[in-house]
Amino acid sequence: RWKVGWENELQLSDHVELAEFFRRTYGQTGVFNAKPFEGSQSWAGARPEFRAIAYDSSGIAAHMGMLRRFIKIDGADLLVAELGLYGIRRDLEGLGLSSSFRVVLPVLQELGVPFGFGTVRPALHKHVARLGRGGLLVVKSGIRVRSTLRIALLDKPPTRIDDALVVVLPVGRPISDWPAGAMIDRNGAEL
């Protein structure tokens, strides 16, 4: 069962349950990755605008957040819906990413964005590449992505640059309309 809704429709109990879900899900890749979700915080960088949350008899099964924003690709502005905060419960791995994209696609169409956009670690290339074979999305490599840090620190620059894989989901325009470029400026914190 999927629940798709605005961020401000969530209750405190939803945030508590999501924070626990993210601590368990992201904590598998290291304690540092679970740290942003301490207490009842259910976001790590930018706060989502919409959330798609899958439930089953064991609670939260999967999650994907969405946020409309303008990015710059080699200096050219482009409206996208950033997709992030993806997680799936360990016992369901391999079952949720494609269904998550299929659930959020109608929401993105309602929002009128030309593309969904997200980034993933290169270690997840095989995982997301399977979705590209079905034509649902395109995975691009060799693109650098600059993001604002979530918290301004005195001993670090305010931005970071990642060599992540870029995931593009055509929504209102064909993939051929995605601008070519080697640098994406997120102009904000990663979702």
Determine the longest span between alpha carbons in the chain, in angstroms: 47
What pLDDT score was predicted for residue 94? 65
What integer pLDDT is reported at residue 158 of this predicted model? 93
Q: Mean pLDDT for each consecutive 10-residue tract of the chain (191 residues)?
A: 91 95 85 86 90 92 93 94 89 67 85 93 71 74 91 90 91 93 92 88
pLDDT for the residue numbered 134: 64
* pTM of the shown model: 0.86
What is the pLDDT at residue 50? Answer: 93
Q: Is 90 helix (H, G, I), strand (E, B) or coil?
A: helix
Structural domains of the chain, ranges and CATH numbers in brackets: 2-185 (3.40.630.30)
DSSP conformational letter for 48 = P
**8 Å CB contact between 62 and 104:** no
Span 73-122, pLDDT tens digits: 998 999 999 999 988 888 877 665 666 777 888 889 999 999 999 998 77
pLDDT at residue number 44: 85
DSSP state of 161: E
